[in-house]
Amino acid sequence: MAGQTETRTEKLLSILKLQPVVPVLIVEDAKSAVGLAKALVAGGLKAIEITMRTPAALDAVKAVAAEVEGAHVGAGTILNGRDWDAAVKAGSTFIVSPGVTPGVLAAAKDGAVPLLPGAATASEVMTLREAGFDVMKFFPAEQAGGAAYLKALSSPLAGTLFCPTGGISLKNAKDYLSLPNVVCVGGSWVAPKDLVAAGDWAGITKLAAEAAGLKA
C-alpha cells in the first residue's frame, strides 16, 4: 500500500510541477472548454483544473481529455465518492477537493488517480499526513491566513507541500511561490469570464504565458 501511495504522490507532483500556476476553471459551456484549454496550454499552463460546479463540467473534462494535446486535466470541487467516480470516468488525471470526507479518502485509497486534498488548519494537515498525504491544497488560502500562515506551518509540518488556492492573483502569487513548502498555486485570473465569453483565446494565452513565467 505504501508503494501505491508513493506512486500516486509522484504522479501528482509530476503534474503540479509543470508550472507555477494551475488554472482553476468554472466552465459554463462545455463547447468552450477545448478552445480555452488549448489557449492555456499554448501559454504554458498544461495542468488544468475544471471545477465540478456547473452542469457542463463533466462534459468539459471529457472534451479536454480527448481533444487537447499536452493537457493534464483534473477535476476540482470533488465532494464525495460519487463525484470522484464520475470525474475519473470522464478522464480526469488528478482530483482536487476543498476538504476531505471519508468517502473521498476511500475513493483515493482504492483508485489510481492521485488526490490533492484540501486543508486549512494544522490539525487537518496532520490528519491528512496520517492518511498518507504529503501534498495538499491550502484552501481558502487568503481567507485562511495567507502566505504568512503557510510560512508558519513550514517548520512544524516540514515535508508537507501545498498548492494554495483561493484569493490568489497575479499580485500576490509570488508571496506564496517564494515559500519552501509551496509547489504551485491555483488561480482563476488566467481565464477571466469576459475573455472566455468572447472566445478571446489569444488574450487568455497571453495571461497564461504571464502566469507560466512567474518565478519565486
> What pLDDT score does 215 carry?
73
pLDDT of 76 > 70? The answer is yes
**What are the pLDDT digits (tens) for 200-215?**
999 999 999 999 999 7
3-state SS of the chain: helix, strand, coil percent to 5?
Answer: 45, 15, 40
CATH topology of domain 2-212: TIM Barrel (3.20.20)
- What pTM did the predictor assign? 0.96
Confidence label for 4 from pLDDT (cuts 50, 70 and 90)? confident
Name the CA radius of gyration of the chain, rounded. Answer: 16
For the sheet containing 72-76, what is the strand order? 115-116, 94-96, 72-76, 47-51, 21-25, 185-187
Residues of the chain above pLDDT 90, percent: 95
- Mean pLDDT for 32-38 is 98
**What are the pLDDT digits (tens) for 93-108?**
999 999 999 999 999 9
Q: The C-alpha cell of 158 is what?
A: 516540514
Confidence label for 2 from pLDDT (cuts 50, 70 and 90)? low
The domains of the chain are located at 2-212
Closest CA to 187 of 118, 128, 139, 122: 139
166-to-16, 62, 132, 146, 184 alpha-carbon distances in Å: 17, 25, 24, 9, 13
Please name the helix (run of DSSP H) or strand (run of DSSP E) that holds residue 95, with its range, or none: strand 94-96
Q: Which of 6, 10, 62, 137 is catalytic?
A: 137
Cβ 39 vs Cβ 68: under 8 Å = no
Helix axes 102-110, 81-90, angle to 10 degrees: 40
- Mean pLDDT for 79-103 is 97
Confidence label for 3 from pLDDT (cuts 50, 70 and 90)? low
**What are the pLDDT digits (tens) for 123-138?**
999 999 999 999 999 9
Asked about 137 being catalytic, the answer comes back as: yes
Give SS3 for 162: strand
Q: Which of 6, 31, 46, 49 is catalytic?
A: 49
Asked about 49 being catalytic, the answer comes back as: yes
Q: Is the dihedral of CA 134, 185, 79, 107 positive or negative?
A: negative
Name every residue whose Cβ is closer than 8 Å to that of residue 143 and which is 6 or more positions away in sequence: 166, 167
